């Protein structure tokens, strides 16, 4: 029975031969496709691209959208109860009253929990 080192050496030689054969086949294939594209024109090339995209699923992968975290309101209008979390355009009811309408952690239990976890 052959030694492990001898088997590994043979495996490396075979892997090199496989790599060489694949490279030669790849080059021959590219030459064939290039020659056909030159002969048959742009429409053939576009069909080949479409076929390869379908066959190997080369479509651009769309990433999953990250969920935006739900923000707690930072301001509350005492007369209507409307709230604003600080994102987007400043509401008219808040203009000039930021300090007055600000929700303080000691008055809102949800804000209190948020303040406790951030410390």
**For residue range 69-96, what is the model confidence (pLDDT) as tens digits?**
778 888 888 889 899 888 889 999 988 8
Q: What's the burial of 58, exposed, middle or buried (CB within 10 Å: 0-12/13-18/19+)?
A: exposed
Which pLDDT tens digit goes with each residue over 9-63? 999 999 999 999 999 999 999 999 889 888 988 888 888 888 888 888 876 667 7
Q: Which has the closest alpha carbon to 71: 90, 82, 87?
A: 87
Q: Which of the four pLDDT bands, split at 50, 70 and 90, describes residue 111?
A: low
Q: In residues, how long is the chain?
A: 119
Beta bridge partners of 84: 75
Judge whether 37 and 48 are in contact, CB under 8 Å. yes
Directed axis angle between helix 42-56 and helix 4-40, to 10°? 140
Q: Kindly tell me if the per-residue pLDDT of 118 is higher than 60.
A: no
Could you please report the per-residue DSSP string of 33-88? HHHHHHHH-HHHHHHHHHHHHHHHT-SPPPPPPPPPPPPPPSEE-TTT--EE-S-S
């Amino acid at each position: 029975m052959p030694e492990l080192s001898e088997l590994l050496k043979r495996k490396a030689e075979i892997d090199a031969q496989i790599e060489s054969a694949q490279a030669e086949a790849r080059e021959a294939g590219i030459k064939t496709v290039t020659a056909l594209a030159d002969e048959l024109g742009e429409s053939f090339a576009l069909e080949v691209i479409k076929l390869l995209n379908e066959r190997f699923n080369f479509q651009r992968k769309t990433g999953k959208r990250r969920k935006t975290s739900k923000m707690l309101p930072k301001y509350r209008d005492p007369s209507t109860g409307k709230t604003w979390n600080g994102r987007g355009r400043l509401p008219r009811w808040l203009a000039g009253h930021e300090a007055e309408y600000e929700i303080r952690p000691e008055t809102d239990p949800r804000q209190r929990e948020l303040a406790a976890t951030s410390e």
